[in-house]
Amino acid sequence: MKKLIILFSFLMVLNQSEAQTNETLKDRTGKKLLKGFVTDSILKADPAEFKWFEENENVYNPAEPVLNSFKAQKDSVSFMVFFGTWCPDSHYVVPRFYKILEKAGIDKSRITLFALDRTKKDAAHFAANFNIQHVPTIIVLKGGKEIGRVVEYGISGKFDEELAKVLN
C-alpha cells in the first residue's frame, strides 16, 4: 500500500508539473494510438484522430445528483484514469467523465490520465500496480488511498451514477 501511495504521489506531481510523457504509435489498423500520460487538451488538439472526445463530451449532460456528489468532494478527491485511445468504451466514458468534472468545477490537476495500448501494459508497470484489467478504469482516491473504482461502464451500465456512489 505504501508503494501505491508513493507511486500515486509521484504521478500527481508529474501531472501537475505538465511534464507529460507519452508516445504516439500507430495501432494495427493504422490509427494513431497514444501511450503514457496525456491530457484532454492533447486529445482535443487532434480532432482528426480523436474527434470522438469532443463529440462525446458535447452530447452529454450530467444529472444533478451526479454533479452534486462531485461538487461536494471536489477539493478532497483525485482521479486516476486508465484508458485506450483505441477503445470504444473509453471513447464513450472518458469524455463524459471530463464533462462531469468541468460542470462540477473540479480542477484538472486532480486528474491523472494514462493511455494504454491494447496489451494494457506499460514499461513503468503503472497499470499492473493498479491492477488494470479493462479500460477505461476510473480510480477515485482520497488522501492518496483508493476509495473506489468504476471499470468500463460500471456494473449497472451507468458509470456516472456509480462514481457518485463512490464519492458519497
85-90 long-range contacts (CB < 8 A, ≥24 apart) are 85/31, 85/32, 85/33, 85/34, 85/43, 85/49, 85/50, 85/115, 86/27, 86/31, 86/33, 86/117, 86/118, 87/135, 87/136, 89/134, 89/135, 89/136, 89/152, 89/153, 90/135, 90/136
Calculate the CA 132 to chain-centre distance: 12
Domain count, the chain: 1
Torsion angle (degrees, nearest 10) of CA 157, 159, 165, 168: -170
3 state SS of 107: coil
Taking 70 as the threshold, does the pLDDT of residue 125 lie above it?
yes
Between 7 and 86, where is the model more confident? 86
For the chain, the residue count is 168
Answer yes or no: is pLDDT of 9 > 70: no
Is the confidence at residue 68, as pLDDT, over 70?
yes
The CATH number given to whatever domain includes residue 23 is: 3.40.30.10
Please write the tens of the pLDDT for every residue from 130-166. 999 999 999 999 999 999 999 999 999 999 999 999 9
Tell me which residue range forms the domain holding 30: 2-167
Q: Which residues pair with 112 in a beta bridge?
A: 80
